[in-house]
């Protein structure tokens, strides 16, 4: 007998797989017409603006101290420039399917997620 949440969990998995996988295709298409870092910057500016508006509408609080902001700025810099920036740069030469397989393989390595907890 299925529980009521199973269908939603499967739907969530399918949606995450689709959107996460299509990200690499969108990057490949984007870097064909724009410089890689400019494309990544525009992409994150749009996404960040949408998330900021959503957060304000929902009434979420924002970091207020300088120490919180400096830590978040540093983490964001490394994640966007180091993580995604290098993928965007590499997709000038690597197919999007290969890039997504490499990233999925890296994220499935033992101990990968434990480094973030």
pLDDT in tens, 74-100: 888 888 887 888 889 999 999 988 888
Domain presence at residue 1: no
38: containing domain:
6-116
Q: Residue 12 and residue 67: Cα distance in Å, rounded? A: 35
Mean pLDDT of the chain: 84
Domain presence at residue 89: yes
Q: What is the pLDDT of residue 113?
A: 59
Q: Residue 76 and residue 4: Cα distance in Å, rounded? A: 37
Q: What are the CA-CA distances from residue 42 to residues 5, 16, 98, 106, 114 (Å)? A: 37, 22, 24, 26, 31
Evaluate if residue 116 carries a pLDDT over 80. no
Domain count within the chain: 1
């Amino acid at each position: 007998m299925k529980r009521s949440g199973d269908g939603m969990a499967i739907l969530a998995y399918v949606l995450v797989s689709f959107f996460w996988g299509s990200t690499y295709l969108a990057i490949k298409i984007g870097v064909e017409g724009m410089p890689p870092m400019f494309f990544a910057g525009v992409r994150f500016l749009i996404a960040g603006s949408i998330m900021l508006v959503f957060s304000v509408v929902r009434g979420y609080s924002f970091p207020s101290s300088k120490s919180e902001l400096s830590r978040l700025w540093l983490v964001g810099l490394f994640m966007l420039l180091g993580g995604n920036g290098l993928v965007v740069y590499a997709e000038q030469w690597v197919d999007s399917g290969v890039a997504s397989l490499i990233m999925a393989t890296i994220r499935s390595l033992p101990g990968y997620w434990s480094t973030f907890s």
